[in-house]
């Protein structure tokens, strides 16, 4: 499974600035996964234009790496970039506030569901992505990514990046318990139950209902269980036997073998539990 993201252009971009923003989109697409921070402009020439970019990449390492990318872009184009890092769950509130004040970003990195929502609400300039596609050539993109970022056969955002979910496990604990590396859902559950002892949780599994991380990990498990949102004929299939199995599996794993120390398990607490040696596995 992969999570996919797209670069979208806000309606706030004026026609006269479209060529400038187009260059930025091409830059951001080429540097997928390395967004963040301020522009770090070191050029001595006056700026031709300045734009605001929202990025969902907010980890410190990624923000630091981006400063060099943004500085190079600004030196080459004389376009200043005000880059705004946004946390995983901040996007809806930030977008609502920007919409109400009329201060929309010029460019934004969006997850696919938000891309389609905002395109449907006419918040995005959907002509620029087509310009980017024509300039770069659609053969330079994954065709699946293009279809996911399209509405009614028209691209509404530029696909930028994606990633696969990983199961990370403590090899030393598995070896000590005589367990083989987990390759199936059954392996994961069996290992979690055996290693769930004392202060050690078998697995750190997100259970915060309002966090994207919970949905991402469940989707990963659901796909492994053969659960699809719709069948080949386009019918909703969440009530199928395989999907019911996926829901039961996730609930049982979270209830019996994933014991957070305090409150809900989120992306950050799951990572903290793993690196502090308090859980044997995490997604």
Retrieve residue 129's tokens.
């992505």
54-58, 174-178, 262-266: range with lowest mean pLDDT: 262-266
Q: Is the dihedral of CA 215, 216, 217, 218 positive or negative?
A: positive
Give the Å distances, CA to CA, from 195 to 171, 181, 221, 267, 278. 12, 13, 20, 21, 11
Contact 21, 11 (CB under 8 A): no
How many H-runs (helices) and E-runs (strands) does the chain carry? 11, 9
Query: In this predicted model, what pLDDT tens digit does every residue of 127-183 receive, in sequence order?
Result: 899 999 999 998 999 998 999 899 988 999 999 888 778 999 999 999 999 999 999
Instruction: List the domain range (segments joined by +) for residue 186.
Output: 168-282
Q: HSE on the CB side for 39, CA within 13 Å?
A: 21
Query: In this predicted model, what pLDDT tens digit does every residue of 64-117 receive, in sequence order?
Result: 887 888 889 999 999 999 999 998 679 999 999 999 999 999 999 998 889 999
Choose among 16, 66, 4: nearest CA to 38: 66
On whether both 131 and 203 belong to a single domain, the answer is no
Q: How far apart are CA 6 and CA 134, in angstroms?
A: 16
CB atoms within 10 A of CB 263: 9
Q: Does residue 210 surpass a pLDDT of 90? A: no
**Residue 240: per-residue pLDDT:** 92
Interior CA angle at 50 toward 109 and 94, to 5°?
40
- Count of domains observed in the chain: 2
On whether both 217 and 91 belong to a single domain, the answer is no
Domain boundary among 123, 143, 163: 163
**Residue 204: per-residue pLDDT:** 93
Domain boundary among 116, 136, 163: 163
17-31, 37-51, 138-152: range with lowest mean pLDDT: 17-31
On whether both 62 and 157 belong to a single domain, the answer is yes
On whether both 159 and 216 belong to a single domain, the answer is no
On whether both 131 and 192 belong to a single domain, the answer is no
Domain boundary among 147, 163, 179: 163
On whether both 23 and 159 belong to a single domain, the answer is yes
On whether both 24 and 156 belong to a single domain, the answer is yes
Domain CATH for 187 = 3.40.190.10
On whether both 150 and 208 belong to a single domain, the answer is no
On whether both 178 and 229 belong to a single domain, the answer is yes
Query: In this predicted model, what pLDDT tens digit does every residue of 216-233 receive, in sequence order?
Result: 899 999 999 999 888 888
Domain CATH for 97 = 3.40.190
On whether both 159 and 188 belong to a single domain, the answer is no
Contact 108, 52 (CB under 8 A): no
pLDDT band of 2, cuts 50, 70, 90: very low
On whether both 59 and 143 belong to a single domain, the answer is yes
On whether both 33 and 50 belong to a single domain, the answer is yes
CA dihedral angle for residue 223, residue 174, residue 168, residue 261, rounded to 10 degrees: 100
Backbone angles phi, psi at 114, to 5 degrees: -70, -35
């Amino acid at each position: 499974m992969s999570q996919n993201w797209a670069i979208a252009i806000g309606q706030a971009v004026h026609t006269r600035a479209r060529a400038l923003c187009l260059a930025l989109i091409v830059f951001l697409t080429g540097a997928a996964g390395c967004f963040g921070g301020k522009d770090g402009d070191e050029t001595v020439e006056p700026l031709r234009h300045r734009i605001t970019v929202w990025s969902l990449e907010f980890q410190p390492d990624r923000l630091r790496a981006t400063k060099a990318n943004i500085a190079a872009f600004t030196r080459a184009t004389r376009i200043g970039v005000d880059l705004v890092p946004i946390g995983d769950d901040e996007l809806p509130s930030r977008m609502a506030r920007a919409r109400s004040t009329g201060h929309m970003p010029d460019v934004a990195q969006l997850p696919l569901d938000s891309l389609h929502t905002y395109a449907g609400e006419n918040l995005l300039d959907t002509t620029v992505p087509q310009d980017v596609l024509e300039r770069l050539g659609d053969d330079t993109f994954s065709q699946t990514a293009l279809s996911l970022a399209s509405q009614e056969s028209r691209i509404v955002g530029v696909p930028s990046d994606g990633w696969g979910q990983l199961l990370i496990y403590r090899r030393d604990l598995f070896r000590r318990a005589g367990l083989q590396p987990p390759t199936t859902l059954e392996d994961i559950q069996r290992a979690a139950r055996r290693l769930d002892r004392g202060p050690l949780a078998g697995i750190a599994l997100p259970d915060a209902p309002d966090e994207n991380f919970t949905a991402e990990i469940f989707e990963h498990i659901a796909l492994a269980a053969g659960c699809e949102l719709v069948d080949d004929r386009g019918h909703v299939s969440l009530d199928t036997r395989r999907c019911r199995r996926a829901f039961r599996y996730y609930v049982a794993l979270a209830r019996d073998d994933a014991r957070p120390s305090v409150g809900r398990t989120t992306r950050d607490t799951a990572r903290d539990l793993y690196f502090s040696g308090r859980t044997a596995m995490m997604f």
